[in-house]
Chains A and B, each alone.
Chain A
């Protein structure tokens, strides 16, 4: 704690929290270090874009997870189910619109993909609502049970997805206009990666705006900081929490669509596999911090792409190594949430 408030003269304005810029520097520094190691500039541009695209998608998925944890201490081990659900819904929606996805026009492609994304978000949100009521609500404040029950929810969810869509892998081809790459000088950048970066930035901007400029966002931030105080001021943190949970699930659904198109094949197990990556990201970022989650996701994306190019064997462990290094520097993650 800083010096007691009674001793300092009343400040004229509320003291602004100094922004911790150090973690922000990590991204450019990492990219600059990688440049001489990669060697060629055009390859570096390609890799950087690939890393950013992957990071953006991971951020979309992980942001809900970290907020839910920050607000209610609930860590949803079943978060992966919403990713899988989103991806499979997208195959169902896009499968019915093959005429539009195979058309050359970007507009028609978008008219097919946007409804698929919206459908995935809506259904994932609704399922998230049910999941929260049925599975998580009865075990608030019991971490051990929470871990087990969300794990159980994940098992049942994956099995139900298999009941509906079957257990085998399904292709999720990119719409025609999203395929291929653009050339910047000598560097080839896949079109879909640019789209992923744009969508990711949009989600980040929207989330940033909601959290910093609206009353709901203020309450969420305050809730993450000190839940009891917000409750004692008369706000129902429970409702806020459901809202955040549903939004988080919907974003996971959206991320699932994007991840599925990124991989181009989807399996019922994909959500479980990506779960580990999500945990690494939110631990790196600091549990509960959206900004940390954003930087963590981009770091993970960049590192795995650079490492995948330079030393494919190391790439399999690059994320764990990254997490260990970050935790050695800041044991609570990049942006520690103060209350714990």
Chain B
């Protein structure tokens, strides 16, 4: 298979971006060997899961121009699907399959219904409706405690191959023990890459071009003969489907799921920030945005702790750089990105590569 086919003809188109992407992929693939310890592996896994989740959101926001606040709902459905199936059917691959399938069906029905009912109206209206629906769903999930475990969530066992107790060989390979966590991680990474390439295929297909046409000028797209409602609904359904898969990956990796890990509004905000900072309307933007955000989220706090102790004597400044305020700085970066470079980091890099120096 040629590179052209693999990337659907949508190459990074910027040398810096290419280096960045290769570095991210290599970093992820080598994490278990290069950065020992549970934290680094968890950070890498989170990056993988969010790459799928944020790319699927970009399909909706960046490519079709629809703002939805219900994306975590589908993420949560996927996670709960796997969690509930594994809790009740035991740790088998059949249970995983059934859970994912049931979650996908539910997501598709829900996204279809929401889409058909409210995608005809203005962007604002859709944003508000999805916000209300997502809030209701979150309440529902925490109330149905017999099924979902309520606020406590569900802790469950995963199939043996993926569980930490499983071991491929007694001898460690390059100083890393070949246990179920390692297998889980590489499975996660593979699925992420496959799903990402699949989404790249979708957005670069004729269908994807129509979505972009709708984003640029819905009226004109309609005049050219495309049923915009149908395309918008499809985009909504597809993006919900991928978000569901990302949720299933999350549940498999954490072996736990609860309302705060997959459904909370904070995650929705995180997704929005990642998409915009990385670059809307290009899937590579999601990769860059997610990586930057997750690393900042996990490691900026250490830096800020240092700054905070350094400025301990200055009252206001000390509070501004307090480690818990990392979101403040990302929020400011977010606002600046929306104004100054709406195409995000990736858009900037691509524009720079185009300009003759």
Cβ of B128 under 8 Å from chain A: yes
> Counting chain A CB atoms within 10 Å of each CB, which of B65, B67, B324 scores highest?
B67
Instruction: Pick the contact of B325: A153, A159, A313 (CB < 8 A).
Output: A159
Cβ of B136 under 8 Å from chain A: yes
Contacts of B351 in A (CB 8 A): none
> Counting chain B CB atoms within 10 Å of each CB, which of A148, A163, A279, A317 scores highest?
A148
- A147 & B335 in contact (Cβ 8 Å cutoff): no
- B338 & A276 in contact (Cβ 8 Å cutoff): no
- B338 & A280 in contact (Cβ 8 Å cutoff): no
Query: Which stretch from B147-155, B206-214, B219-227, B326-334 is at the chain A interface?
Result: B326-334
Q: In whole angstroms, what is the CA distance A69 to B129 when docked?
A: 16
Contacts of B132 in A (CB 8 A): 276, 279-280, 319-320, 323
Q: In whole angstroms, what is the CA distance A316 to B143 when docked?
A: 9
- B338 & A160 in contact (Cβ 8 Å cutoff): no
Contacts of A275 in B (CB 8 A): 131
- A145 & B342 in contact (Cβ 8 Å cutoff): yes
Instruction: Pick the contact of B128: A75, A135, A148 (CB < 8 A).
Output: A75
Contacts of B342 in A (CB 8 A): 145
Cβ of A283 under 8 Å from chain B: yes
Contacts of A287 in B (CB 8 A): 125
* Size bracket of the B interface: 35 or more
Q: In whole angstroms, what is the CA distance A90 to B328 when docked?
A: 23
Contacts of B324 in A (CB 8 A): 162, 167
Cβ of A156 under 8 Å from chain B: yes
Shortest CB-to-CB span from A297 to chain B, Å, is: 15
Which residues of B from 127 to 142 have beta carbons under 8 Å from A? Answer: 127-129, 131-133, 135-136, 139-140
- A316 & B139 in contact (Cβ 8 Å cutoff): yes
Contacts of A320 in B (CB 8 A): 132-133, 136
> Counting chain A CB atoms within 10 Å of each CB, which of B143, B273, B324, B338 scores highest?
B338
Q: In whole angstroms, what is the CA distance A156 to B269 when docked?
A: 12
Q: In whole angstroms, what is the CA distance A152 to B332 when docked?
A: 7
Cβ of A149 under 8 Å from chain B: yes
Q: In whole angstroms, what is the CA distance A159 to B61 when docked?
A: 25
Q: In whole angstroms, what is the CA distance A75 to B128 when docked?
A: 10
- A313 & B328 in contact (Cβ 8 Å cutoff): no
Contacts of B302 in A (CB 8 A): none
- A147 & B123 in contact (Cβ 8 Å cutoff): yes
- B335 & A153 in contact (Cβ 8 Å cutoff): yes
Cβ of B46 under 8 Å from chain A: no
Given contacts A147-B124, A148-B272, contact A317 B335 (CB under 8 A): no
Contacts of A152 in B (CB 8 A): 331, 334-335, 338
- B272 & A151 in contact (Cβ 8 Å cutoff): yes
Instruction: Pick the contact of A159: B127, B273, B331 (CB < 8 A).
Output: B331
- A155 & B128 in contact (Cβ 8 Å cutoff): no
Shortest CB-to-CB span from A59 to chain B, Å, is: 18
Annotate B254-287 by CB proximity to A: 1 below 8 A, 0 otherwise.
Answer: 0000000000010001001100100000000000
Cβ of A180 under 8 Å from chain B: no
Contacts of B327 in A (CB 8 A): 155, 159
Cβ of B71 under 8 Å from chain A: no
Shortest CB-to-CB span from B276 to chain A, Å, is: 6
Cβ of A115 under 8 Å from chain B: no
Shortest CB-to-CB span from A84 to chain B, Å, is: 15
- A143 & B124 in contact (Cβ 8 Å cutoff): yes
Q: In whole angstroms, what is the CA distance A135 to B339 when docked?
A: 9
Contacts of B339 in A (CB 8 A): 138-139, 149
- B128 & A283 in contact (Cβ 8 Å cutoff): yes
- A144 & B65 in contact (Cβ 8 Å cutoff): yes
Q: Which residue of B lies closest to A280 (CB)?
A: B132
Contacts of B331 in A (CB 8 A): 152, 155-156, 159
- A135 & B335 in contact (Cβ 8 Å cutoff): yes
Q: Which residue of B lies closest to A148 (CB)?
A: B338
Contacts of B122 in A (CB 8 A): 143, 340
Shortest CB-to-CB span from B266 to chain A, Å, is: 10
Which residues of B from 240 to 259 have beta carbons under 8 Å from A? Answer: none
Given contacts A75-B124, A143-B123, A320-B132, contact A163 B322 (CB under 8 A): yes
Which residues of A from 118 to 163 have beta carbons under 8 Å from B? Answer: 135, 138-139, 143-145, 147-149, 151-153, 155-156, 159-160, 162-163
- B332 & A317 in contact (Cβ 8 Å cutoff): no
Given contacts A138-B339, A144-B123, A279-B131, contact A156 B332 (CB under 8 A): yes
Q: Which residue of A lies closest to B123 (CB)?
A: A143
Shortest CB-to-CB span from A137 to chain B, Å, is: 11
Cβ of B319 under 8 Å from chain A: yes
- A163 & B320 in contact (Cβ 8 Å cutoff): yes
Q: In whole angstroms, what is the CA distance A323 to B276 when docked?
A: 31
- A317 & B265 in contact (Cβ 8 Å cutoff): no
Q: In whole angstroms, what is the CA distance A145 to B129 when docked?
A: 18
| Interface pairs (14), CB distance under 8 Å | A75-B127, A144-B61, A147-B67, A148-B67, A148-B334, A152-B331, A156-B328, A159-B331, A162-B324, A163-B322, A167-B324, A316-B143, A317-B140, A320-B136
Residues of A within 8 A of B (CB): 69, 73, 75, 77, 135, 138-139, 143-145, 147-149, 151-153, 155-156, 159-160, 162-164, 167, 272, 275-276, 279-280, 283, 287, 313, 316-317, 319-320, 323, 340
Assuming A144-B61, A148-B334, A149-B335, what are 7 further A-B pairs, CB within 8 angstroms? A147-B127, A148-B276, A152-B334, A162-B324, A162-B325, A276-B132, A319-B132
The 8 closest A-B pairs by CB, nearest first: A159-B328, A155-B331, A156-B331, A152-B335, A279-B128, A143-B123, A152-B334, A163-B319
